[in-house]
Structure 1
Amino acid sequence: MPTEHPARPASRARPERHASRPSRGGPVTLLSLGHSCVDVYQGAVAALVPYFVAERAYTYAAASGLVLAASLLSSVVQPLFGALTDRRALPWLLPVSTLVGGAGVALVGISDSYALAFAAIALSGIGVAAYHPEGARAARAAAGDSHTAMGWYALGGNLGFATAPLLVTAVVATGGLAASPLLVLPALLGAVLCATALRRAAPTGRGAGAGGATGTGGMPEAGESDWRSFLKLSGAVVCRSIVFVSLSTFVSLYVRQRTGGGPASGTAALTVLYVGGAVGTVAGGRLAARHGRVRVVQGAYALSVFAVAGVVFVPGPPVYLFVALTSAGLYVPFSLHITLGQDYLPTRVGTASGVTLGLTVSVGGLASPLVGALADATSLRTALAPLIALPALGLLLLRGLPEPGARPAAAGSGEDR
């Protein structure tokens, strides 16, 4: 695998601009909207935590255990789905997994049993896990020669995260947890969008192959795998994941404590965390087109150290500013993690997607109950303080990470850019 790729040739700049915004009704747009619908269910789990604490008197550890339920099976299952999609394309997974993800969250409030709630959220986690490797492969095939187009696809998922607290509040704050079956509606819409995207993409041949090994379907041409760089990148994503999932789980409760506000103040903080991420994702793609993916990712991790410290230590309303900065720092590298991982393992695109979107991200859910247990024993502020060190550790792992070089345009679509 090539090491440093200096400046992008001017001849490559024009395709990046043309591909920067998906065409209305095109496969990337539809996949992005479908991604939004499925990622509602990742954001919904954290958004439900305050309602479990209030309505069912769960401890912090018990409530964060539900976040664990969404992550536990996903952390194992998602790379397996990624390896499976390396062997053959499974486009039908997109609508089916969206429905499964929605059904799990919809079932979470129909019983007072903690075990059933845990099982329902675990089911949702499996659905979300099954979606992402195939979704990332299909989006990369449809996006063309552009970081930014992949940024738009990732934006869809982040918008799903951002709208989850508002959707959960609208449904659960008015009808209680028993109204959770209404939360299945985004899944129904998402399944339709994914099916439509696949139907429109089929005539072009994109997404028809298993991706990565042959250079067909817009995927990178086969090349030498750089496992060392991939593992370093994966370690950094683990650090980012623990910070993000822990803040997603507890920032609503924490900001209510720091500002003395009611439920609305907590919902606002969670919304800022997610909406800021939506903006950061698009910015990340544009910045990478100018400065390179590795440099942008390193800068984002550096920003996160400062921003997380502000969330933990700055009192009162200014905490919202630091929540927004944290969101930007955590989300600017989001789509870049995906494409870097795919380019470090060009013959195992599904596996790379499953790890960067699944295994490493899900580790955050595995760590969340530990943060909850520490908060029960001490305080939320004490439990969140160690999160400051994790982006710094991620930055150390990213030092010396090579920028994958451009592949000859004649060999494929140049998708790695």
Structure 2
Amino acid sequence: MSTVLDAEPSEGIDPKTEADRTDEQHKGLSWLLMAGHLCTDLNQGALTAVFPFLVVSSGFSYTEVAFLVFASNAVSAVVQPLFGWLGDRHARPWLMALGMFLAGVGLAGVGILESYPLIIASAMLSGLGVAMFHPEGGRLANLVAGERKGSGMSIFAVGGNLGFAVGPMLAVAGIAAFGLPGTFVFLIPATLCALVFLTQNRVFAGFGLVDKRAADGPGQRDRWGLFALVMAVLSSRSIIYYALTAYAALFIVAELGQAEAVGSSMITVFALFSAVATLLSGRIAGRVGVLRLMRGTYLVLAALLVCFALCRILPLSVLLLALIGLAQAVSYPSTVALGQSFVPQHLGMASGLSFGVVVCVGGMVSPVLGAVGDTVGLTVALLVTAGLALLAAGLSALVARVAPQASVR
């Protein structure tokens, strides 16, 4: 005979407790991955900030210091897919700790070493470290997010934005205090973050194993054609981003007649609004849909870039640049998550390509736009970026046509 006690939950047991605890753990891991992304990418952001000091203190030419970025990006672009492939075969979360540590060691060596070949090798070591972190970090950010992929990738991606913003400030502070060898300060966050990540290695490895079993289920085939379209969208966005960070300040100075300090402050405005949009990307995509968000924001971005290129009023230019920062970043993490959803069997490879190779594409194409600016003016160069935004909108519409049901939360 059933009793009342049979129908009621046992006293003192909350059925939601375990789920809530798991959810809190996952959120904590998402923020930890963001911190790791920050500690890794601040080395990328700092490299160019060291250039003026290398030229003045070591007597290197502009070509020689510029080659350091090319060397670092080239190593990163080539190696990241390899580490992504390795991560897809077997979970290797320790690569994140090793990667962020090597990225910091490499950047520190750029200021400490005196021989140019050794400085190049050190920059390449930093690029190698960056390449080791991104595939595994992006893969785990996807897994830790559970069903809310867009929100999880937003948290992870904003770490990269903050890293690029904090890196130059840390470099200038270290060099101002200790001279060019002051780049040793990058060893501090690299070492501390690496140690923290090593303490969580077993937890991260567990996520990899759980997902591998789930990925073998039905309906989990890879669609590389759709992923390639998403990569083309991300590459267009990366070129626009690098062009704005490189030439928006010069445009403000050259075309609006403002002081260098005013032009440089515009990059801060752009970076701040980009970071805010990146953090909100997942929530917005969850409400309006990632495909609709991609199409709409790139169309708006194209219009804003045209207005910015033709504007000669400083307050309006500041407003336009802030809106451009929002528009180019708000769909970015959700687009990365969408690309990952098309290749569920190769999350590591997808992460390496989306966070690493795409960034390198932007960095390598940016000088081409600089050449356009030298030849026919920065206004035309910025109008070219508007064309790239229209291309991204068209590619987004093509993705929506081929996979209209695709979505992320």
TM-score, normalising length from structure 2? 0.81
Q: CA deviation at 1:396?
A: 1.3
Q: Aligned with 1:206: secondary structure?
A: helix
1:191 to 173, 190, 194: 194
Aligned to 2:40: 38
1:406–1:363 Cα change, 3 Å: closer
Q: State which drifts further: 336-345 or 104-113.
A: 104-113
Kept in 2: contact 1:279–1:328 (CA 8 A): yes
Q: CA deviation at 1:83?
A: 1.3
Match status 1:169 vs 2:167: no
Aligned mates of 1:385, 1:81 — CA distance in 2: 37
The answer to whether 1:337 aligns with 2:335 is: yes
SS at match of 1:90: coil
Q: Is the 8 A contact 2:309 2:383 kept in 1?
A: yes
Q: Does 1:153 align with 2:135?
A: no
SS in 2 for 1:207: helix
Match of 2:71 in 1: 69
Give % identity. 35
Corresponding residue number in structure 2 for 1:207: 208
Query: In 2, Cα distance between the equivalents of 1:325 and 1:366?
Result: 25
Q: Distance in 1 between matches of 2:365 and 2:132?
A: 22
Q: 2 CA distance for matches of 1:259 and 1:317?
A: 13
Matched residues in 2 for 1:385 and 1:113: separation? 41
1:66 positional shift: 3.5
Alignment of 1:98-109 (within 5 A): 98-109=100-111
SS at match of 1:347: helix
User: C-alpha distance in 1, partners of 2:207/2:38?
Assistant: 21
Q: Deviations over 1:137-169 (max 9, x none)?
A: 112221222122332222222222232233233
Structure 2: runs of 5 or more not aligned: 1-19
Distance 1:322 1:371, change over 3 A: same
Tell which deviates more after alignment, 146-155 or 371-380: 371-380
Which of 178, 182, 186 lines up with 1:179 in the alignment? Answer: 182
Residues 83-122 of structure 1 mapped to structure 2, 5 A cutoff = 83-111=85-113, 115-122=117-124
Out of 259, 262, 267, the residue aligned to residue 265 of structure 1 is 262
Q: Could you list the per-position Cα deviations for residues 101-132 of structure 1 after superposition, in whole angstroms to 9, with x for gaps in the alignment?
A: 11222222235665544433222122111111
**1:324-363 aligned within 5 A:** 324-363=322-361
What is the rounded CA distance, in whole Å, between the counterparts of 2:355 and 2:299 in structure 1?
A: 21
User: Whole-Å Cα distance in 1 between the matches of residues 180 and 345 of structure 2?
Assistant: 45
Q: Note closer, same or farther for the CA distance 1:324–1:68 as it changes in structure 2 (3 Å cut).
A: farther
Query: CA 1:367–1:322 in 2, change beyond 3 Å: closer, same or farther?
Result: same
**Partners of 1:108 and 1:405 in 2: how far apart?**
48
1:389 alignment partner, one of 367, 371, 387: 387
Structure 1: which amino acid aligns with 2:233? A
Which residue is 1:123 aligned to? 125
Equivalent residue for 2:271? 274
**1:42-92: CA deviation from partner (whole Å, max 9, x where unpaired):** 222344456567765754x66554432332122221111111111111111
The alignment of Structure 1 onto Structure 2 pairs a total of residues equal to: 383
Larger C-alpha radius of gyration, 1 or 2? 2
Contact in 2 for aligned 1:100/1:127 (Cα 8 Å): yes
User: Is residue 49–residue 249 contact of structure 1 (8 Å, CA) maintained in 2?
Assistant: no
* Residues 277-356 of structure 1 mapped to structure 2, 5 A cutoff: 277-315=274-312, 316-356=314-354
TM-superposed CA distance for 1:200, in Å, is 4.6
Q: Structure 1 residues 334, 406: closer, same or farther in 2, change over 3 A?
A: closer
Unaligned 5+ runs, structure 1 = 1-17, 408-415
Q: Which residue of 2 aligns with 1:411?
A: none
- Contact 1:172/1:179 (8 A) holds in 2: yes
Which has more helix, going by share of residues?
Answer: 2
Q: Displacement, 1:240?
A: 1.0
- d(CA) in 2 for partners of 1:330 and 1:119? 33
2:240 corresponds to? 243
In the TM superposition, residue 380 of structure 1 has moved relative to its aligned partner by 4.9
In the alignment, is the contact (CA less than 8 A) between 2:298 and 2:328 conserved in 1? Answer: yes
Quote the residue 1:13 is aligned against.
none
Change (3 A) 1:22 1:81: same
| Distance in 1 between residues matched to 2:371 and 2:396, nearest whole Å | 30
- Describe the SS at the equivalent of 2:399: coil
- Is the Cα–Cα contact under 8 Å of residues 26 and 145 in structure 2 kept in the other structure? no
AA partner of residue 121 (structure 2): A
Q: Is the 8 A contact 1:222 1:346 kept in 2?
A: no
Shift of 1:199: 4.5
CA contact under 8 A between 1:166 and 1:271: conserved in structure 2?
Answer: no
